[in-house]
């Protein structure tokens, strides 16, 4: 299960995201946002090498889901997806990536939707996150997600001759899946006024 080290990270994740988030087409806020970490969860990498985190950040424009992976070395061919580098007090240099472009996160999300792995608490070691819910009505394994493509409010992974996995970047409190959804992930976060809300994080729809 995920091990969370109580140590420093320089620069912080929010400092990296403050520079990176305004460069995204689906971000609708200020060019100099004041971000707050408001929720999220983690998944385990079966190999124990890659950190996998789904972070919810909020600012005056709303809430955003940021999937991140943390690696001990650069991931070849994904320079365009690099959020930034940081120094971890225990693990040393870490490369932080937009996790939609990291095959380890994509495979982990598919396994979670299917129910083969469980969501881990974002900030506590060896603890399951019971607020994150998933469902899958298919009869076979969830296929490995294809190449990601950004839309106005999401990132979509299309699988040839298969379903489309939609990761919601812009979160809408109370959102529900479309009628044809065959899989989904929902989660919770705290709004700027302290109110706790839920929304769709991801949906899987027939191709």
Instruction: Tell me, letter by letter, the H, E, C secondary structure of 40-94.
Output: EEEECCCCCCCEEEEEEEEECCEEEEEEEEEECCCCCCCHHHEEEEEEECCCEEE
Q: Which DSSP string corresponds to 156-172?
A: EEE-TTS-EEEEESEE-
Q: CA-CA distance, 105 to 113, in Å (whole number)? A: 12
- Whole-model pTM: value is 0.93
Q: Closest by alpha carbon to 28, among 54, 67, 63, 55?
A: 63
Dihedral angle over CA of 139, 140, 144, 150, nearest 10: -20
Longest dimension (CA), the chain: 46
Q: What is the pLDDT along the chain (207 residues), one digit of tens a residue?
A: 566 666 657 899 999 999 999 999 999 999 999 999 999 999 999 998 899 999 999 998 899 999 999 999 999 999 999 999 999 777 779 999 999 999 999 999 999 999 999 999 988 878 899 999 999 997 777 777 888 999 999 999 877 778 889 999 999 999 999 999 999 999 999 998 889 999 999 999 887
**pLDDT attached to residue 54:** 98
Dihedral sign for Cα 44, 164, 77, 55, please.
negative
Q: CA-CA distance, 100 to 81, in Å (whole number)? A: 8
Q: Closest by alpha carbon to 57, among 80, 86, 84, 26?
A: 26
């Amino acid at each position: 299960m995920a091990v969370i080290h109580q140590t420093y990270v320089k620069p912080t994740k929010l400092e990296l995201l403050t520079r990176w988030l305004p460069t995204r087409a689906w971000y609708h806020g200020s060019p100099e946002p004041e971000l707050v970490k408001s929720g999220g969860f983690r998944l385990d990498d079966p190999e124990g090498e890659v950190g996998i985190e789904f972070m919810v950040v909020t600012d005056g424009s709303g809430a955003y889901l940021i999937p991140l992976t943390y690696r001990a070395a650069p991931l070849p061919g994904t320079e365009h997806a690099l959020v930034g580098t940081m120094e971890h007090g225990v693990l040393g240099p870490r490369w932080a990536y937009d996790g939609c472009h990291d095959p380890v996160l994509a495979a982990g999300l598919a396994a979670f939707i299917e129910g083969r792995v469980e969501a881990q608490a974002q900030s506590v070691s060896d603890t399951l996150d019971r607020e994150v819910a998933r469902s899958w009505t298919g009869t076979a394994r969830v296929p490995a997600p294809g190449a990601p493509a950004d839309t106005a409010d999401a990132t979509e992974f299309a699988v040839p001759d298969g379903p489309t996995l939609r990761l919601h970047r812009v979160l809408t409190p109370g959102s529900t899946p479309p009628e044809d959804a065959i899989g989904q992930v929902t989660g919770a976060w705290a709004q700027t006024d302290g109110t706790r809300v839920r929304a769709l994080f991801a949906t899987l729809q027939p191709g």
